[in-house]
Chain A
Amino acid sequence: MIFTETKRYYVERRMFERMEATGAGTFASYFARLRSDANAEIEQFINALTVNETYFYREDHQLRCLTSDLLKERLKTNAQGQSIRIWSVPCSTGEEPYSIAIWLLENWPEVDNHDIEIIGSDIDTRVMEAARAGIFGKRALMRLSPELIAKYFTDLGDDRWRILDDLRGSVRFSQVNLIEPGGPGLHGKFDVIFCRNVLIYFDDASRRMAAENLFENLAPGGFLCLGHSESMSRISPLFDVCRYNDAIIYRRPLDTRNA
C-alpha cells in the first residue's frame, strides 16, 4: 500500500480508531502492540485501513456457511412457505447484497423452493443510489469468474459492468441508521443479517445500541455475520456464539422467555 500525503489524515483517523478499540492510550503503546502483534493487531489495523474496499464475494466463507448451515437451520424453525429474509447492512454500493443473491442462485440447491427477500441498507444515501444503479468496475468483480460475470452482468465497455435488471429489481435498498436508539425496527425480522466491518467505527455506547438494534431485527434463532476480524464478545452479551465450518456466527437465542 502506498499512502500519499493526502491519505495521511485517513491513515491517522483509522489508527486513532484502532488505538481507541484496543484501549491504547498513546501512540507509543499502540505501536508496541502493533510490533508485538498482540491479539493479531496487525491484521486488525490492515482491515481498518482497507475497510472501504468492497468487492463481490468478499469473505465468501460466510456465504458458504450461509448455504451449508445457516439456511438449513432457519428452515427447521420457519413456517412452511415463509419467505427467507436476508439483510445486508451497511450495503455500501451494493456488492454484498448482490453477492448474496448471486451466491444463492448459484450455490443453494433449494433456491427454487423458497421465496427469498434481500434488503440492503446504509446510512449513506449516495452509496445506495450507486447500489440501485448497479454499475461496477473491474476491481469490484475481481473475485467473480468470467462465467459468472457473463451470466449476471452486461458489459458496458470501459471496464464497467451493469448487473442484470432482474437482480437489480429484486434487491430492495433503504436507508437506515444502525445506532439510532430504539430503531431501526422498520424492516421486520430477518433470518440472517450481514453486518460486516462497521461496528469498529462506533464508540462503545453506539456499538451497544447497534447490537441491540441488530438483535431486534433478527427473528429468534436468526443469525448475525460480522466481519472476519470482528467479534461481538466485547460489545454485547445478547447473542449466542456458534461455530460452523470456517466461521464464527452469532445467533439470537431461540428461547426468549415469556415471549
Chain B
Amino acid sequence: MPEGPKVRALVVDDAGLVRAYYRDILERHNYQVDEALNGLEAMEKLLQDRFDFVIVDVNMPQMDGISFLKVLRRQSLPLASIPAIVISTEAEAHDSAGARAAGANHYLVKPLREDGLVQYAALLSGRPA
C-alpha cells in the first residue's frame, strides 16, 4: 500500500497512562497521535491543528468530555464534524445516551482492549482495520 499522510488522532484523557496505552496501540497501527489532558486543552489543539478523529474520556478536570463535545459541535465546519469516540468508565445507559446526544459517534466502556480501539478508529477514519 502506498504511504499516504498518516491519519491523525487526538487522544483526550486526564490519565497519562491511558493516553500512553492508546498512543501505543494507535501508533503500532500507523496512526499519528497527539494528546490533550482535558476538553479545553483539546479545543486549543483542534483550533490550531488538523485531526481526523478524537478519542475522549468523560470525567476530566476543567472540561469534561460531554461539555467538550457540545462545544466542539458548535464550532464552524469542518471542525464541528470531526468524528469522536467517547471511552468512559461510566457504564450506565444514561451515560451512553448523554454522550450520543452531545455528539459522540461511538460510546465505549473502559477498560478497553486493543482490538476494540483499532476497530473503531478504523471505522471513524475510513480505513480498513
Binding site for B on A (CB under 8 A): 231-237, 241-243, 248
Contacts and interface: CB of A to CB of B under 8 A. Distances in A.
Of residues B40, B41, B61, B63, which shows the largest number of chain A Cβ atoms within 10 Å of its Cβ? B40
Contact of B40 (A237, A242, A243): A237
Of residues A231, A232, A234, which shows the largest number of chain B Cβ atoms within 10 Å of its Cβ? A234
Contacts of A232: 40
A248 B47 contact: yes
Contacts of A243: 47-48
Of residues A231, A237, A242, A243, which shows the largest number of chain B Cβ atoms within 10 Å of its Cβ? A237
Interface residues of B, number: 13
Nearest to B64: A237
Contacts of B37: 233-234
Given A235-B62, A236-B62, A241 B47 contact: yes
B67 interface: yes
Contacts of B96: none
B124 interface: no
Contacts of B102: none
Contacts of A235: 62
Contact of A241 (B40, B61, B67): B40
Given A233-B38, A234-B38, A241 B44 contact: yes
B44 to A, nearest CB: 5
B18 interface: no
A248 to B, nearest CB: 6
Contacts of A237: 40, 62-63, 67
